[in-house]
Amino acid sequence: MDTATRRRAPDDTRTEIIDKALEVAAELGASGFTLDAVAARTTVSKGAVLHHFPTKIALLEGMIDHLGQLHTDGILAEAARDPEPYGRNARAYLRATVTEPVTPQDVSIGRVVMAACAIEPALALRWKGWIDRVKADDPSDPVGADDALMLRLIADGLWMSDLFGLHQVSAEQRQALLSLLTPGHPITGNDA
Amino acid sequence: MDTATRRRAPDDTRTEIIDKALEVAAELGASGFTLDAVAARTTVSKGAVLHHFPTKIALLEGMIDHLGQLHTDGILAEAARDPEPYGRNARAYLRATVTEPVTPQDVSIGRVVMAACAIEPALALRWKGWIDRVKADDPSDPVGADDALMLRLIADGLWMSDLFGLHQVSAEQRQALLSLLTPGHPITGNDA
DNA sequence: CCCTACATACCGGCCGGACGGTAACAGTCA
DNA sequence: TGACTGTTACCGTCCGGCCGGTATGTAGGG
């Protein structure tokens, strides 16, 4: 056994646990998402999982932070390509939600996150933290911006609809939602 | 003991169980929502609860049906007062969501329903059933109506936001959302 | 030498659900 | 009207297993 990696970097283990936890969430859903199942999928033991995440909620926080970071990066990258500054991030928020191909795995993970946030208030707060971060990043997106709020609500509503299968929204309809962002409509900043 | 009511009408028991189950959901949240807790709050035993609802999911189905019926009634009543037929129900859907004062109890119950639907697909389907019923009731609300869809997404997004505390939406902003329904905006039918 | 980073073994309580009863009806037939 | 029978509604008890969490041991690094 190589001396260099007799002992792994703890951060690697932590990352692996989160990755595998997301896999479990994707494949087994909320009811199958247990610490045992997560540990079984990793190369380490259940004890190691509880060493890095002292409670199940802590693990879910880690997962939410991971997803929140990814989502935020995607939104900011999207916003960076938007020449119009006003309400830039809100538009990107909707674009990211509408455009992103929602795979069955994403749906499964989303449902787990949804359930977790519904059960544990602390997790909902964590999630809100990521949303606020994107909001705060956009100086032209004050709290009072009604039309920006509207875009965010549409994005959230669409996400929930996809997770629960509430409305079947065709690709054309998704495109139509994006047309809200064209000049002549609110939030574009051209008419306000 | 009065001879008339030695034995209660089973429908009354069923109704009571659902009522008390909603109370438990409102006060204890998802983590405290157990069959034991529900039974303890009723005048009957846990055995009786499982007699009327053979499984916990069945009980949740009953609760969702109850809430769905209430919500549907409210929407249709709201829609009945709308002179403009086109997209009538979608407007009422948004009005009901925006207008309804969301009490802490409602939030708690909503979170339980949310979690249940996220965990158990059958429950999400049940919920969708009630949404579809309202949709189907409105002949001028075809599946392809983009603007009606938008209103529903906003309503759903707002509901979720209220449940998780994602965005703080002031009364003025709620009113502003309703202004989407005034002439000059989509869905009113005046410009399409 | 001690601290971090794990492994292994184990616990215990909660909670969904099963089960065996029993009491109140309803219908039937004499 | 009353006995017989089946069904519905409900009670009380218990089980069993899952699953989050603990306690203890240990190997390697600084």
What pTM did the predictor assign? 0.88
Q: Quick check: A136 contacting B, CB < 8 Å?
A: no
Among residues B31, B37, B97, the alpha carbon closest in space to that of A115 is found at: B31
Q: A3-17, A93-107, A120-134 — which one is most confidently predicted on average?
A: A120-134
Among residues B23, B10, B97, the alpha carbon closest in space to that of A156 is found at: B97
Q: Convert the pLDDT of each residue in B141-172 to its tens digit.
A: 654 567 788 889 999 999 999 999 999 898 88
Residue B183 confidence (pLDDT): 46
Structural domain spans, chain B: 1-54, 64-192
Task: Give residue B182's pLDDT band: very low, low, confident or very high (50, 70, 90).
Answer: low
Query: Nearest 5°: CA angle at A130, between A126 and A134?
Result: 160
Q: Which nucleotide is nearest to A1 (CA to C1')?
A: D28
Residue A2 confidence (pLDDT): 33
Q: Convert the pLDDT of each residue in B20-76 to its tens digit.
A: 999 999 999 999 999 999 999 988 888 888 999 999 999 999 999 999 999 999 999
Residue B145 confidence (pLDDT): 65
Q: Is the CB of B13 under 7 A from strand D?
A: yes
Q: Which nucleotides of chain C does any protein CB come within 7 A of?
A: 4-10, 14-20, 23-25
Task: Give residue B6's pLDDT band: very low, low, confident or very high (50, 70, 90).
Answer: very low
Question: Is the sign of the CA dihedral A21, A136, A124, A114 positive or negative?
Answer: negative
Which residues on chain B are in Cβ contact (under 8 Å) with A161? 153, 156
C1' (D14) to CA (B47) span, angstroms: 13
**Topology annotation, domain A9-54:** Arc Repressor Mutant, subunit A (1.10.10)
Q: Which CATH class is domain B1-54?
A: mainly alpha
Q: Any idea of the CA torsion for A95, A148, B159, A62, to the nearest 10 degrees?
A: 60
pLDDT over 90 at A110, yes or no: yes
Looking at residue A183, what DSSP letter applies? T
Listing DSSP states for B72-120 in one string gives HHHHHHHHHT-S--TTHHHHHHHHHHHHS---HHHHHHHHHHHHHHHH-
Residue B188 confidence (pLDDT): 44
Q: Which nucleotide is nearest to B10 (CA to C1')?
A: D9
